[in-house]
Protein backbone atom coordinates (compact mmCIF):
# COMPACT_ATOMS: atom_id res chain seq x y z
CA UNK A 1 0.00 0.00 0.00
CA UNK A 2 0.99 3.65 -0.35
CA UNK A 3 1.35 6.08 2.55
CA UNK A 4 1.52 9.87 2.25
CA UNK A 5 3.39 11.68 5.02
CA UNK A 6 2.15 15.24 5.50
CA UNK A 7 4.85 17.51 6.91
CA UNK A 8 3.23 20.83 7.79
CA UNK A 9 3.44 23.91 9.97
CA UNK A 10 0.97 24.66 12.78
CA UNK A 11 -0.30 27.91 14.21
CA UNK A 12 -0.57 27.56 17.96
CA UNK A 13 -4.19 27.33 19.13
CA UNK A 14 -5.59 28.49 15.78
CA UNK A 15 -7.91 25.64 14.83
CA UNK A 16 -9.64 27.39 11.94
CA UNK A 17 -6.42 28.41 10.21
CA UNK A 18 -4.76 25.01 10.70
CA UNK A 19 -7.64 23.03 9.21
CA UNK A 20 -8.06 25.40 6.28
CA UNK A 21 -4.33 25.29 5.63
CA UNK A 22 -4.34 21.50 5.63
CA UNK A 23 -7.28 21.53 3.22
CA UNK A 24 -5.06 23.45 0.81
CA UNK A 25 -1.96 21.37 1.47
CA UNK A 26 -3.69 18.05 0.89
CA UNK A 27 -5.23 19.26 -2.35
CA UNK A 28 -5.97 16.44 -4.77
CA UNK A 29 -5.70 12.80 -3.66
CA UNK A 30 -2.22 11.31 -4.18
CA UNK A 31 -3.47 7.75 -4.59
CA UNK A 32 -2.24 6.78 -1.14
CA UNK A 33 -4.29 4.53 1.11
CA UNK A 34 -3.21 6.41 4.25
CA UNK A 35 -2.35 10.04 5.02
CA UNK A 36 -0.43 10.72 8.24
CA UNK A 37 -0.49 14.17 9.87
CA UNK A 38 1.48 15.31 12.92
CA UNK A 39 0.92 15.29 16.66
CA UNK A 40 -1.79 17.80 17.72
CA UNK A 41 -1.97 18.91 14.10
CA UNK A 42 -4.97 21.21 14.62
CA UNK A 43 -3.74 23.23 17.61
CA UNK A 44 -0.03 22.69 18.12
CA UNK A 45 1.48 20.99 21.15
CA UNK A 46 0.28 22.64 24.36
CA UNK A 47 1.50 20.73 27.37
CA UNK A 48 -0.49 22.97 29.69
CA UNK A 49 -3.62 25.08 29.43
CA UNK A 50 -5.30 23.16 26.63
CA UNK A 51 -8.25 21.93 28.66
CA UNK A 52 -10.76 24.73 28.13
CA UNK A 53 -11.42 24.24 24.43
CA UNK A 54 -10.08 20.73 23.89
CA UNK A 55 -13.44 18.94 24.06
CA UNK A 56 -15.26 21.11 21.52
CA UNK A 57 -12.22 21.33 19.28
CA UNK A 58 -11.76 17.57 19.27
CA UNK A 59 -15.30 16.99 17.98
CA UNK A 60 -14.71 19.47 15.18
CA UNK A 61 -11.31 18.04 14.33
CA UNK A 62 -12.61 14.47 14.25
CA UNK A 63 -15.44 15.56 11.93
CA UNK A 64 -12.84 17.21 9.67
CA UNK A 65 -10.77 13.99 9.62
CA UNK A 66 -13.85 11.98 8.62
CA UNK A 67 -14.55 14.44 5.80
CA UNK A 68 -10.97 14.27 4.56
CA UNK A 69 -10.88 10.48 4.71
CA UNK A 70 -14.03 10.29 2.59
CA UNK A 71 -12.74 12.91 0.14
CA UNK A 72 -9.30 11.28 -0.20
CA UNK A 73 -10.72 7.72 -0.29
CA UNK A 74 -8.08 6.86 2.29
CA UNK A 75 -7.48 6.59 6.00
CA UNK A 76 -6.25 9.70 7.84
CA UNK A 77 -4.19 9.60 11.05
CA UNK A 78 -3.09 12.36 13.41
CA UNK A 79 -3.25 13.27 17.09
CA UNK A 80 -5.69 15.62 18.81
CA UNK A 81 -5.89 17.17 22.29
CA UNK A 82 -9.29 16.03 23.53
CA UNK A 83 -11.37 15.53 26.67
CA UNK A 84 -12.67 12.00 27.25
CA UNK A 85 -16.00 10.93 28.75
CA UNK A 86 -14.57 11.31 32.27
CA UNK A 87 -13.45 14.87 31.64
CA UNK A 88 -9.78 13.89 31.36
CA UNK A 89 -7.47 15.51 28.83
CA UNK A 90 -5.88 13.06 26.38
CA UNK A 91 -3.35 13.30 23.57
CA UNK A 92 -5.30 10.99 21.26
CA UNK A 93 -4.08 9.61 17.95
CA UNK A 94 -7.07 8.96 15.68
CA UNK A 95 -6.98 6.55 12.74
CA UNK A 96 -10.03 7.41 10.62
CA UNK A 97 -11.25 5.32 7.68
CA UNK A 98 -13.11 6.58 4.59
CA UNK A 99 -16.43 5.20 5.87
CA UNK A 100 -16.14 7.33 9.03
CA UNK A 101 -15.24 4.52 11.42
CA UNK A 102 -12.12 5.02 13.49
CA UNK A 103 -9.76 3.62 16.11
CA UNK A 104 -7.68 5.61 18.54
CA UNK A 105 -4.62 5.37 20.75
CA UNK A 106 -3.97 7.58 23.79
CA UNK A 107 -0.34 8.64 24.20
CA UNK A 108 1.23 6.37 26.80
CA UNK A 109 4.41 8.29 27.62
CA UNK A 110 3.63 11.87 28.55
CA UNK A 111 6.42 14.42 28.13
CA UNK A 112 7.02 15.36 31.75
CA UNK A 113 9.97 17.58 30.78
CA UNK A 114 7.44 20.04 29.31
CA UNK A 115 4.72 19.40 31.89
CA UNK A 116 2.43 17.28 29.71
CA UNK A 117 1.92 14.87 32.62
CA UNK A 118 0.38 17.60 34.79
CA UNK A 119 -2.69 18.23 32.61
CA UNK A 120 -2.99 15.08 30.50
CA UNK A 121 -3.81 11.48 31.44
CA UNK A 122 -1.67 8.72 29.96
CA UNK A 123 -3.07 5.88 27.90
CA UNK A 124 -2.75 2.32 29.16
CA UNK A 125 -2.97 0.13 26.06
CA UNK A 126 -1.17 -0.59 22.82
CA UNK A 127 -3.27 -0.21 19.71
CA UNK A 128 -2.71 -2.00 16.41
CA UNK A 129 -4.92 -1.10 13.43
CA UNK A 130 -5.23 -3.24 10.30
CA UNK A 131 -5.73 -1.36 7.04
CA UNK A 132 -5.32 -2.47 3.42
CA UNK A 133 -3.30 -5.53 4.38
CA UNK A 134 -0.93 -3.73 6.77
CA UNK A 135 -1.03 -3.81 10.58
CA UNK A 136 -0.05 -0.43 12.08
CA UNK A 137 1.10 0.17 15.67
CA UNK A 138 0.04 3.68 16.70
CA UNK A 139 2.52 5.82 18.67
CA UNK A 140 2.93 9.50 19.57
CA UNK A 141 6.15 11.52 19.77
CA UNK A 142 7.81 10.81 23.16
CA UNK A 143 6.76 7.14 22.89
CA UNK A 144 9.68 6.82 20.47
CA UNK A 145 12.13 6.76 23.39
CA UNK A 146 10.59 3.65 24.98
CA UNK A 147 11.38 0.48 23.00
CA UNK A 148 9.84 -2.01 25.43
CA UNK A 149 6.34 -0.63 24.98
CA UNK A 150 6.64 -0.74 21.20
CA UNK A 151 8.37 -4.12 20.94
CA UNK A 152 7.07 -6.16 18.03
CA UNK A 153 5.25 -9.24 19.32
CA UNK A 154 4.50 -10.41 15.82
CA UNK A 155 1.35 -8.30 15.84
CA UNK A 156 2.27 -5.43 13.49
CA UNK A 157 4.06 -4.63 10.23
CA UNK A 158 4.52 -0.87 10.51
CA UNK A 159 4.77 1.75 13.23
CA UNK A 160 3.34 5.26 13.00
CA UNK A 161 4.99 8.03 15.01
CA UNK A 162 3.34 11.47 14.88
CA UNK A 163 5.32 14.23 16.54
CA UNK A 164 6.13 17.80 17.49
CA UNK A 165 9.85 17.00 17.83
CA UNK A 166 12.18 20.03 18.23
CA UNK A 167 15.19 20.68 16.04
CA UNK A 168 17.64 20.61 18.96
CA UNK A 169 16.92 16.89 19.38
CA UNK A 170 16.70 16.00 15.68
CA UNK A 171 19.60 13.53 15.86
CA UNK A 172 17.65 11.54 18.45
CA UNK A 173 14.55 11.53 16.23
CA UNK A 174 16.49 10.30 13.22
CA UNK A 175 18.44 7.68 15.15
CA UNK A 176 15.55 6.19 17.10
CA UNK A 177 13.21 5.95 14.11
CA UNK A 178 15.83 3.87 12.34
CA UNK A 179 16.49 1.78 15.45
CA UNK A 180 12.80 1.00 15.92
CA UNK A 181 12.56 -0.18 12.30
CA UNK A 182 15.62 -2.43 12.53
CA UNK A 183 14.96 -3.99 15.93
CA UNK A 184 11.29 -4.71 15.16
CA UNK A 185 11.72 -5.75 11.50
CA UNK A 186 9.02 -3.36 10.37
CA UNK A 187 8.32 -0.19 8.44
CA UNK A 188 8.40 3.04 10.44
CA UNK A 189 6.38 6.08 9.39
CA UNK A 190 7.59 9.17 11.27
CA UNK A 191 5.80 12.48 10.69
CA UNK A 192 7.02 15.65 12.38
CA UNK A 193 5.95 19.28 12.03
CA UNK A 194 7.93 22.25 10.71
CA UNK A 195 7.90 25.90 11.72
CA UNK A 196 8.06 27.23 15.26
CA UNK A 197 6.02 27.98 18.37
CA UNK A 198 6.67 29.81 21.62
CA UNK A 199 8.98 27.06 22.85
CA UNK A 200 10.77 25.40 19.93
CA UNK A 201 11.75 25.31 16.29
CA UNK A 202 10.89 22.25 14.20
CA UNK A 203 12.62 20.97 11.07
CA UNK A 204 10.43 18.01 10.15
CA UNK A 205 12.70 15.15 9.05
CA UNK A 206 9.52 13.21 8.27
CA UNK A 207 10.39 9.85 6.79
CA UNK A 208 9.36 6.30 5.91
CA UNK A 209 11.96 3.67 6.83
CA UNK A 210 12.00 -0.02 5.94
CA UNK A 211 12.98 -3.00 8.08
CA UNK A 212 16.62 -2.76 6.94
CA UNK A 213 16.81 0.78 8.31
CA UNK A 214 16.83 2.29 4.83
CA UNK A 215 14.90 5.43 3.90
CA UNK A 216 12.09 4.55 1.50
CA UNK A 217 11.00 8.17 1.15
CA UNK A 218 11.35 11.34 3.17
CA UNK A 219 10.98 15.09 3.27
CA UNK A 220 14.18 16.66 2.02
CA UNK A 221 14.01 20.05 3.75
CA UNK A 222 12.37 21.85 6.67
CA UNK A 223 9.45 22.92 4.50
CA UNK A 224 5.87 21.81 4.07
CA UNK A 225 5.71 18.73 1.88
CA UNK A 226 3.50 15.76 1.11
CA UNK A 227 5.63 12.74 0.24
CA UNK A 228 4.28 9.34 -0.76
CA UNK A 229 5.97 5.99 -0.19
CA UNK A 230 5.02 2.40 -0.92
CA UNK A 231 5.11 -0.22 1.84
CA UNK A 232 6.18 -3.40 0.06
CA UNK A 233 4.69 -6.14 2.20
CA UNK A 234 6.02 -8.96 0.01
CA UNK A 235 9.55 -7.71 0.56
CA UNK A 236 8.96 -7.42 4.29
CA UNK A 237 7.63 -10.98 4.52
CA UNK A 238 10.59 -12.36 2.56
CA UNK A 239 13.04 -10.55 4.84
CA UNK A 240 11.34 -11.83 8.00
CA UNK A 241 11.36 -15.41 6.68
CA UNK A 242 14.98 -15.24 5.54
CA UNK A 243 16.28 -13.54 8.70
CA UNK A 244 13.80 -14.36 11.53
CA UNK A 245 15.15 -12.02 14.19
CA UNK A 246 11.83 -11.77 15.99
CA UNK A 247 11.85 -15.51 16.70
CA UNK A 248 14.85 -14.94 18.99
CA UNK A 249 13.40 -11.95 20.84
CA UNK A 250 13.36 -11.88 24.64
CA UNK A 251 10.12 -12.93 26.26
CA UNK A 252 8.72 -9.99 28.22
CA UNK A 253 5.64 -7.82 28.37
CA UNK A 254 5.11 -4.10 28.91
Q: Measuring CA to CA, how many Å separate 148 from each of 101, 140, 163?
A: 29, 15, 19
What is the pLDDT, as a whole number, of residue 199? Answer: 87
Taking residues 109-133, report their average pLDDT. 95
What is the pLDDT, as a whole number, of residue 143? Answer: 98
List, in order, residues 6 or more apart from 69 with CB less than 8 Å away: 75, 76, 96, 97, 98, 100
What is the pLDDT, as a whole number, of residue 50? Answer: 67
Catalytic residue among 66, 107, 178, 224: 107
Nearest to 158 by CA among 191, 189, 133, 126: 189
User: What is the rounded average pLDDT for all residues in the chain?
Assistant: 95
Catalytic residue among 16, 24, 28, 39: 39
Catalytic residue among 66, 141, 219, 224: 141
User: E strands, 75-157, where?
Assistant: 75-83, 89-96, 102-106, 128-131, 134-140
What is the pLDDT, as a whole number, of residue 109? Answer: 98
What's the pTM value of the predicted model, to 2 decimals?
A: 0.96
Catalytic, 241? Answer: no
pLDDT per position as a tens digit, 5-63: 999 999 998 999 999 999 999 988 889 999 999 999 999 997 666 666 777 789 999 99
Catalytic, 39? Answer: yes
What is the pLDDT, as a whole number, of residue 71? Answer: 95
Q: Is the pLDDT of residue 252 over 80?
A: no
Which pairs with CB-CB distance under 8 Å and at least 24 residues apart come from 83-90? 83/51, 83/54, 83/55, 83/58, 84/121, 88/120, 88/121, 89/50, 89/51, 89/54, 89/119, 89/120, 89/121, 90/120, 90/121, 90/123
- Rounding to the nearest 10 degrees, give the CA dihedral for residues 129, 103, 67, 196: -90
Catalytic, 12? Answer: no
Higher pLDDT, 252 or 5: 5
Q: What are phi and psi of 29, to 5 degrees?
A: -55, 140
Nearest to 248 by CA among 148, 134, 172, 152: 152
Q: What percent of the chain has pLDDT over 70?
A: 97
pLDDT per position as a tens digit, 196-251: 998 899 999 999 999 999 999 999 999 999 999 999 999 999 999 999 999 999 98
Taking residues 67-87, report their average pLDDT. 95
CATH of 2-248, one of 3.40.50.720, 3.40.50.150, 3.40.1390.20, 3.60.110.10: 3.60.110.10
Amino acid sequence: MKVSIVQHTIRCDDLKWNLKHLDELLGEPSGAGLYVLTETFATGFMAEGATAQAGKQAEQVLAWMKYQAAWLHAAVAGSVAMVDELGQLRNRLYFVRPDGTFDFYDKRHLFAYAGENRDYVAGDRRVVVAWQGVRFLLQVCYDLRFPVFSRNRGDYDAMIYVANWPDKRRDVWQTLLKARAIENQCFVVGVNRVGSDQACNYVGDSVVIDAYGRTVAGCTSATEQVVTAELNMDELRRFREKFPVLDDADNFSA
